[in-house]
């Protein structure tokens, strides 16, 4: 419950509240527009101050970081868990919450003392934990509990349903107190507030995180960053098998490899032996050709016939008379001698060629034997460089095989994970359905409260509160029948907020108040606005809580409110106005 909101600003208009129905009115000029200033009257700013004092973050664009306000302190008197607490906070030191009037000593808070002033303060995290514990029965110490994980119930998220802010889009959807609120956050926190098993939507979000990761990996595998890395398991299996087989063969080859220090010398000698054998072979071929030629010449060497000689001598005698000629017998013997010498020479030539052929063939045989021995010595052996090269080749092949193996495992994991995610979703949906069946009494209570609220707001419309167990977690919907005009969606928000005020107040204690900025009623038929205020007042009065509404005086004055509503008590003495520069909550205008 809120007792008072104050500030160190001298012109600030303190606002003091009481139990039950509270209305803060603001007088506005007829020509006022939403775009004139951010703080013309200050109705919305009051809600921001409540959030500021109850642990909201303060970023650089915050109202409390403006030059006009950053140096000032804001104070709040609250009744929390039956205990009075006065807290102060400033935009200069937003991480410190100063608990005044001895408040800190009465509670299990980790209190620090400010040097110089001796003021006691607590950190933002400690203050939030304390408030969550007192208002929503969250554990005071979250460390080493499930509440310390992501996607779990949080004080700030749940509290924002009791003080929706227009600046964050809190008046757009019943189930979301901010447009930035993610599905996991509203599923978990609404489940907690309604008494359902919030751990199931907590697990649903873990599944969604895994699915998003899987989706990104699949996108990459189809042509993104991992396009050349991933494939299907079926495609990669044969590649892995082939690469590993090649690596094993090379591994065996290296195991039998013997490094030979004289490998290079022996290799050169074997190569030279081959070259010499080829040269000798060419020489032997040439010698065989020479031998054949000499043998033919030997066969052709014959002495001339004697009749030919006689004719020659007769011709000589006739043509050269008086010349002394040898006798025929001497000439015949001469020719016999010449031919004999010639044939003897040819035979000797042939024998020499044959000897050279035999020598060449012998040398070729010796070289062939030597080369064979060298090759046998080199077989299975090699130089150190060759061994190192083989090792390098093996390392490359093994790395390729390992990469393929990892790709194969990744592909199997992706395909298996997709199947597992489907199974997990089915199991979670079944758990969710079972939880809703087991907690039907809580769900029925919420359904009846909202249905009664809709019936109180409209004479001609019915409505329903639906909690659906989907395969994407619990979904919460309020549906008021008929056309969507007349601010129907705003009234759906009102009905959920009112139900939370009752249910959470009865079960957990809650903040003890519900604040509705006038923006919730924008576009709503005055009859429904009046009925909503009456309904909120009745719930607050019956449970000793607060229903706080900020509204323009001209709109409030024209509402068809029933006479039994104690307006004199409900309307707070503090009156805001945008008609003068000093009439707003802060007592001055600033941009």
Residue at which a domain ends, from 365, 382, 399 = 382
Q: Rounded distance, CA 143 to CA 584, Å?
A: 44
Q: What is the pLDDT, as a whole number, of residue 391?
A: 60
Q: Rounded distance, CA 438 to CA 309, Å?
A: 147
- Chain-centre distance for alpha carbon 151: 17
- 473: tokens are 């977690």
Residue 566, SS3 per DSSP: coil
Burial 68-88 (b: 16+ CB within 10 A, else e): ebeebbbbbbbbbeeeebbbb
188, 284: one domain: no
Any domain includes 255: no
> Cβ-count burial of 117 within 10 angstroms (0-12 exposed, 13-18 middle, 19+ buried)?
exposed
pTM of the model: 0.71
Q: Rounded distance, CA 472 to CA 113, Å?
A: 47
Any domain includes 548: yes
Q: Rounded distance, CA 147 to CA 507, Å?
A: 19
Any domain includes 336: yes
Q: How many helices (H) and strands (E) does the chain have?
A: 15, 15
Q: Rounded distance, CA 70 to CA 91, Å?
A: 5
Low-confidence ranges of the chain (pLDDT < 70): 30-40, 102-105, 218, 220-237, 240, 250, 253-267, 270, 301-332, 334-335, 374, 376-391, 394, 403-415, 486
356, 449: one domain: no
561, 445: one domain: yes
Q: Rounded distance, CA 555 to CA 428, Å?
A: 48
Ramachandran region, residue 587 (left: φ > 0; alpha: ψ -120 to 50; beta: rest)? left
458 close to 528: Cβ distance less than 8 angstroms: yes
pLDDT in tens, 415-448: 677 788 899 999 999 999 999 999 999 999 999 9
Q: Rounded distance, CA 230 to CA 412, Å?
A: 10
Picking from 67, 66, 117, 82, the residue whose alpha carbon sits closest to that of residue 96 is: 117
Domain span holding position 376: 261-382
User: What backbone torsions phi and psi does residue 176 show, to the nearest 5 degrees?
Assistant: -120, 125
Contacts of residue 591, Cβ cutoff 8 Å, sequence gap at least 6: 37, 38
490 close to 171: Cβ distance less than 8 angstroms: yes
- 56: tokens are 């909201």
40, 183: one domain: yes
Which secondary structure element, helix H or strand E, spans residue 581, and what is its range?
Answer: none
pLDDT in tens, 24-60: 999 987 655 544 444 468 999 999 999 999 999 999 9
Rounded to 5°, the CA angle 557-561-564 comes to 125
- 277: tokens are 């054998």
Q: What is the pLDDT, as a whole number, of residue 315?
A: 63
- 101: tokens are 């009037």
Beta strands in 271-326 (DSSP E): none
Report the CATH number that the domain containing residue 443 is assigned in CATH. Answer: 3.40.50.300
Any domain includes 282: yes
Neighbours of 544 (CB within 10 A): 11
41, 153: one domain: yes
Could you say which DSSP state residue 591 is in?
A: -
448, 326: one domain: no
Residue at which a domain ends, from 355, 382, 409 = 382
Q: What is the pLDDT, as a whole number, of residue 482?
A: 77
> Cβ-count burial of 123 within 10 angstroms (0-12 exposed, 13-18 middle, 19+ buried)?
middle
272, 175: one domain: no
Helix %, strand %, coil % for the chain, to 5? 55, 15, 30
Q: What is the pLDDT, as a whole number, of residue 136?
A: 97
Q: Rounded distance, CA 89 to CA 95, Å?
A: 8
Beta bridge partners of 122: 97
Residue at which a domain ends, from 334, 366, 382 = 382
Neighbours of 31 (CB within 10 A): 6
Any domain includes 518: yes
Q: Rounded distance, CA 230 to CA 153, Å?
A: 38
Picking from 384, 418, 415, the residue whose alpha carbon sits closest to that of residue 262 is: 384
Residue 72, SS3 per DSSP: coil
Task: Tokens 């203050």: give the residue.
Answer: 127
376, 445: one domain: no
47, 160: one domain: yes
Q: Rounded distance, CA 335 to CA 254, Å?
A: 78
Q: How many domains does the chain have?
A: 2
120 close to 104: Cβ distance less than 8 angstroms: yes
269, 357: one domain: yes
100, 171: one domain: yes
Any domain includes 270: yes
Which secondary structure element, helix H or strand E, spans residue 78, and what is its range?
Answer: strand 73-80
Any domain includes 391: no
43, 179: one domain: yes
Any domain includes 248: no
| CA separation, residue 328 to residues 42, 313, 314 (Å) | 163, 8, 11
Q: Rounded distance, CA 269 to CA 95, Å?
A: 87
pLDDT in tens, 101-137: 766 667 778 888 888 888 889 999 999 999 999 999 9
């Amino acid at each position: 419950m809120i007792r008072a909101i104050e500030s160190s600003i001298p012109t600030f208009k303190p606002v003091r509240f009481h139990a039950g129905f509270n209305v803060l009115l603001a007088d506005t000029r007829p020509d006022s527009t939403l775009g004139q200033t951010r703080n013309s009257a200050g109705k919305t700013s009051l809600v921001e101050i409540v959030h500021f004092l109850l642990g909201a973050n303060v970023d650089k664009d915050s109202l409390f970081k403006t030059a006009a306000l950053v140096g000032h302190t804001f104070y709040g008197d609250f009744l929390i868990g039956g205990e009075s607490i006065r807290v102060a906070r400033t935009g200069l030191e937003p991480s410190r919450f100063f608990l005044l009037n001895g408040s800190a000593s009465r509670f299990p808070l980790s209190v620090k003392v400010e040097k110089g002033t001796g003021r006691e303060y607590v950190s933002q995290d400690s203050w939030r934990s304390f408030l969550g514990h007192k208002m929503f029965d969250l554990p005071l110490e979250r460390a080493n509990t499930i509440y310390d994980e992501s996607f779990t119930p949080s004080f700030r998220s749940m509290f924002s349903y009791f003080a929706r802010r227009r600046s964050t889009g809190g008046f757009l959807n019943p189930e979301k107190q901010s447009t930035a609120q993610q599905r996991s956050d509203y599923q978990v926190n609404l489940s907690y507030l309604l008494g359902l098993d919030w751990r199931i939507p907590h697990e649903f979000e873990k599944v969604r995180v895994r699915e998003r990761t899987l989706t990104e990996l699949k996108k990459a595998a189809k042509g993104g960053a991992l396009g050349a890395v991933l494939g299907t398991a079926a495609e990669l299996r044969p590649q892995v098998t082939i690469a590993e087989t090649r690596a094993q063969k090379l591994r065996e080859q290296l195991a039998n490899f013997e490094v030979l220090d004289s490998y290079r010398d022996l290799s050169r000698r074997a190569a030279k032996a081959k070259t010499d054998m080829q040269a000798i072979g060419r020489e032997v071929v040439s010698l065989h050709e020479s031998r054949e030629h000499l043998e033919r010449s030997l066969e052709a060497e014959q002495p001339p016939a004697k009749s030919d000689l006689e004719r020659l001598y007769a011709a000589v005698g006739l043509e050269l008379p008086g010349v002394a000629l040898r006798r025929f017998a001497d000439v015949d013997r001469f020719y016999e001698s010449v031919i004999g010498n010639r044939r003897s020479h040819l035979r000797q030539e042939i024998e020499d060629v044959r000897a050279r052929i035999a020598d060449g063939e012998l040398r070729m045989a010796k070289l062939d034997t030597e080369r064979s021995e060298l090759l046998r010595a080199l077989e299975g052996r090699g130089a150190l460089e060759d061994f190192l090269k083989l090792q390098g080749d093996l390392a490359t092949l093994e790395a390729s095989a390992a990469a393929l193996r990892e790709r194969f495992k990744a592909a199997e994991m992706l395909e298996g994970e997709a199947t597992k995610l489907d199974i997990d979703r089915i199991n979670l949906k079944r758990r969710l359905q079972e939880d809703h069946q087991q907690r039907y009494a809580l769900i029925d209570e919420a359904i009846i409260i909202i249905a009664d609220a809709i019936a109180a707001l409209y004479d001609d419309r019915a409505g329903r509160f639906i909690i659906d167990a989907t395969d994407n977690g619990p979904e919460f919907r309020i549906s008021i029948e008929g056309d969507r005009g007349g601010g129907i969606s705003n009234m759906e928000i009102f009905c959920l907020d009112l139900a939370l005020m009752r249910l959470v107040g009865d079960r957990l204690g809650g903040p003890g108040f519900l604040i509705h900025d006038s923006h919730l009623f924008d576009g709503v038929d005055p009859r429904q606005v009046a009925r909503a205020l009456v309904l909120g007042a009745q719930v607050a009065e019956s449970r000793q809580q607060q229903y706080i509404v900020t509204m323009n005086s001209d709109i409030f004055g024209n509402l068809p409110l029933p006479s039994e509503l104690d307006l004199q008590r409900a309307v707070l003495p503090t009156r805001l106005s945008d008609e003068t520069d000093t009439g707003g909550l802060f007592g001055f205008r600033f941009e």
